[in-house]
Amino acid sequence: MAKISVIGAGSWGMAVAWLLDGKGHTVNLWAFEPEIADAINNSGRNPIYLPKVQFSERTTASSCISTALIDAEAVVMVTPSIGVRATAEKMAETLPQDTPVVILSKGLEAGTHKLMTEILEEVLGNPSRIAALSGPNHAEEVSKAVPSATVIAAHSPDTARYFQDLFSTPFFRVYTNVDLIGVELCGAGKNVIAIACGMCDGMGFGDNAKASLMTRGLAELVRLGEAVGAQTDTFRGLAGMGDLIVTCTSKHSRNRSLGEGVARGDTLEGYQQRTKMVVEGAVACNSIYQLAKDRGVDMPITRFVYEVLYEGLSPEEGLGLLMNRPSKEE
């Protein structure tokens, strides 16, 4: 059994820590809040995120990153995308150059438009030991051993296979993929489309509207992927279509829920204050929209979400603009 450091104690971090704990690994968690680390050590539970999940004595927690990384044989990063660079810079102070690192955060960095693995390669070095995990994996279901599947992408096949073996269980099936750009872009982009689908729900529309948004949303993600060097097949797989379906339709989806709330008069700031959670699609929307503009890629649904969240466009106005665009071939 291995000694694994899980960096991030939100819902997804707790779910994967529980999965690794259940396989018999020793898990050292890093929690930003000292009170969460103390609660995990004292009770084996996180009082805020997935509070019903019980850990064994193999799992301990610390609010000090260097402590959480002691003797780590592998690192699993599960921090919000906006904190990945700062967290990686702290990790770089003590993490050996050959320790495998997999990131589960989904997004693009504001300003640079870098993928999460590109940030890690820049800050931590040794790109061959870095991987990304992405797929239709709601933390609430994984933590209950509900059957799920996911994708590990890495430049190095050995690194991909290492994490494939680390995460695989009878209820969590793990595939590998060499298209790191495509897998990560799918993970960031589908969250934006899910916000649009949530707005569709909030405005009281039906299955036809949501299916149309999902299908055309996938088409615009493929266009962007092709422009930045991703493989088209990736968007038809678990990281693309699979994750898009679950994020656009599930009651667990923060991104869909945000869109629904905005359509009913809520705001992004109000939603995040109330739920105490980062909505990755709202963060990614800005970067993806700007990247599409830079590359000359037409992404009308992404633009719709961006203008509603950041420029004061109403969801009803945005939908009208989408539906009345010039007719074209599919």
Contact 241/218 with Cβ under 8 angstroms? yes
**199 phi, psi to nearest 5 deg:** -60, -40
Pick the CATH number of 3-178 from 3.30.428.10, 3.30.30.10, 3.40.50.720, 3.90.25.10: 3.40.50.720
User: What does the DSSP 8-state code read for residue 48?
Assistant: S
**Angstrom distance (rounded) from CA 101 to CA 98:** 9
**Angstrom distance (rounded) from CA 46 to CA 182:** 33
- Sorting pLDDT into bands at 50, 70 and 90, what band is 1? confident
Query: Rounded mean pLDDT of 310-326?
Result: 93
CA atoms within 13 A on the CB side of 144: 8
pLDDT of residue 17: 98
List 70's β-bridge partners, or say none. Answer: none
Contact 296/203 with Cβ under 8 angstroms? no
Model confidence over 38-77: pLDDT tens digits?
999 999 999 999 999 999 999 999 999 999 999 999 999 9
Query: Rounded mean pLDDT of 10-27?
Result: 97
Query: Rounded mean pLDDT of 16-31?
Result: 98
**Does residue 82 or residue 272 have the better pLDDT?**
82
Model confidence over 290-302: pLDDT tens digits?
999 999 999 999 9
Which residue among 3, 23, 90, 190 is the active-site one? 190
**Angstrom distance (rounded) from CA 250 to CA 211:** 14
Average pLDDT of the chain, as a whole number: 95
Amino acid in the structure at residue 284: A
Q: How many CB atoms lie within 10 A of CB 192?
A: 32
> Is residue 90 annotated as a catalytic residue, yes or no?
no
Judged against a pLDDT cut of 80, whether residue 265 lies above it is answered with yes
Burial of 102 (0-12, 13-18, 19+ CB in 10 A): buried
Domain residue limits, the chain: 3-178, 185-323
Model confidence over 184-213: pLDDT tens digits?
999 999 999 999 999 999 999 999 999 999
User: Which pair of tokens denotes residue 45?
Assistant: 């539970």
Instruction: Specify the pTM.
Output: 0.94
pLDDT of residue 268: 86
Contact 143/50 with Cβ under 8 angstroms? yes
CATH topology of domain 185-323: N-(1-d-carboxylethyl)-l-norvaline Dehydrogenase; domain 2 (1.10.1040)
Model confidence over 234-258: pLDDT tens digits?
999 999 999 999 999 998 899 999 9
Contact 61/30 with Cβ under 8 angstroms? yes
- Look-up of token digits 């991909």: 160
**Angstrom distance (rounded) from CA 206 to CA 208:** 6
Radius of gyration of the chain (CA): 19
pLDDT of residue 46: 97
Question: Residue length, the chain?
Answer: 330
CA atoms within 13 A on the CB side of 46: 26
User: Which pair of tokens denotes residue 121?
Assistant: 């390669």
Model confidence over 149-184: pLDDT tens digits?
999 999 999 999 999 999 999 999 999 999 999 999
CA angle 146, 149, 155 (to 5 degrees): 145
* Element housing 315 (H / E): helix 315-323
